[in-house]
Amino acid sequence: MPARRNIVWEINRPMSRYWSAVVHGLTPYVPGEQPKLQNLVKLNTNENPYGPSPKALEAMRAEVGDSLRLYPDPNADRLKGAIAAYHGVKPAQVFVGNGSDEVLAHTFQALLKHEGPLLFPDITYSFYPVYCGLYGVDFQTVPLTENFGIRVEDYKVPNGGIIFPNPNAPTGRLLSLDEIERLLKVNTDSVVVIDEAYIDFGGESAVSLVDRYPQLLVIHTLSKSRSLAGLRVGYAIGHPDLIDALNRVKDSFNSYPLDRFAIAGAAAAMEDRTYFAETCRKVVVTRSRLVSELEALGFEVLPSGANFVFARHARHEGAELTAKLRERSIIVRHFKTPARIAPFMRITVGTDAECAALITALKEILSA
């Protein structure tokens, strides 16, 4: 009976009357689908097809025990130490969070809300405008070039901050470190955030620039190249004063964003350089084979520095191909908007076998 009574309430007076005013205006991010069905070839959310480092799994198993009754280290010092050692920076230059989405959220609130508009590409990670809505950050999008590239000249205008992923998502296109440095040389009055979620699949990290450019913040995730999307760990590297701002927001929000498993597993993953290098290498090798095979089927594939490719076919729409692949239990990601990218599919680089299944299915679809 209580359920029925709820329905009557909904009709008479919407439950949203209890919402805070800000909630009415939010347009939440829509994450890629995580289907419950088994036996799918899942190439839609850029997860790594190889498992996490066995050393990370071992470190997490070792955390199962009585110590779980105690809170974790609020500063995650062990993990910050491992990240600092990997990148050759000081622990005071490192901030960690519950996935890079949380690190990004704190960054928007702590560093990117100013009088001038925040600049980011018109085609990019679609969480950025969502954070702007949540935190009331004024923003302006900057169109990508005709070839879906970022032109740094276009960002040389007054602004309250700049953010873009490198490689960009969902295009996969990479910007060189020289180009990023060219931007940093002129844009000194606001923070420049480089979201390097996919940098380990062939790009050169801007972390090497943080000691020379105090306005630079570089954000990484362990979800992609370290195969720990399920653990939720991300981090930022920058000048200690930028990190201080992030810590002030974090400690006003959640003192313990990383649990004991996350701290132990992520630290071990950062330390296991051999496994990391080998799995990244395998993804890159499979990516180049996948690109050649897609091109042989008549696809145009944008140059990718990521663990996914962005591809369109001259005679078939992205939505149509995505739906037909789905009928064959292969899931890729399609974006309806903006219109410029509607013809494309974003395909995560899976194992060789998964990519072979994709190519076989596309051959069937295209020859039907």
Ligand X SMILES: Cc1ncc(COP(=O)(O)O)c(C=O)c1O
Look at residues 215, 216, 233 and name the one whose alpha carbon lies nearest to residue 224: 233
Q: Is 335 in the site for ligand X (CB under 6 A)?
A: no
Q: List Cα–Cα distances, 277 to 57, 131, 269, 282, in angstroms.
A: 17, 33, 11, 9
Q: Does residue 46 bind ligand X (CB under 6 A)?
A: yes
User: Does residue 121 interact with ligand X by CB under 6 A?
Assistant: no
- What are the backbone angles phi and psi of residue 339, rounded to the nearest 5°? -55, -30
> Considering the rule CB under 6 A, would residue 83 count as an interface residue with ligand X?
no
Q: Rounded to an integer, what distance in angstroms lies between the CA atom of residue 77 and that of residue 217? A: 20
Tell which one of 72, 121, 161, 165 touches ligand X (CB under 6 A). Answer: 165
Amino acid residing at 17? R
Name the minimum Å distance from CB 224 to ligand X: 7
Q: Interface with ligand X includes 47 (CB under 6 A)?
A: no
The CA angle 280-285-288, to the nearest 5 degrees, is 125
CA–CA separation, 317 and 302 (whole Å): 16
Q: Which of 60, 82, 101, 365 binds ligand X (CB under 6 A)?
A: 101
Interaction between residue 169 and ligand X (CB under 6 A):
yes
Site map 205..224 versus ligand X, x via CB under 6 A: ----------------x-x-
Q: Which range touches ligand X (CB under 6 A), out of 54-62, 95-103, 241-249, 285-293?
A: 95-103
Q: Which of 229, 267, 268, 325 binds ligand X (CB under 6 A)?
A: 229
Instruction: State the DSSP string of 236-274.
Output: EEE-HHHHHHHHHHHTTT-S--S-HHHHHHHHHHHH-HH
Closest Cα to residue 235, out of 87, 348, 110?
Answer: 87
> How many residues belong to the site for ligand X (CB under 6 A)?
13
In angstroms, what is the minimal distance from the CB of 101 to ligand X? 3
Nearer to ligand X, 101 or 271 (CB): 101
What residues make contact with ligand X under the rule CB under 6 A? 46, 99-101, 125, 165, 169, 195, 197, 221, 223, 229, 234
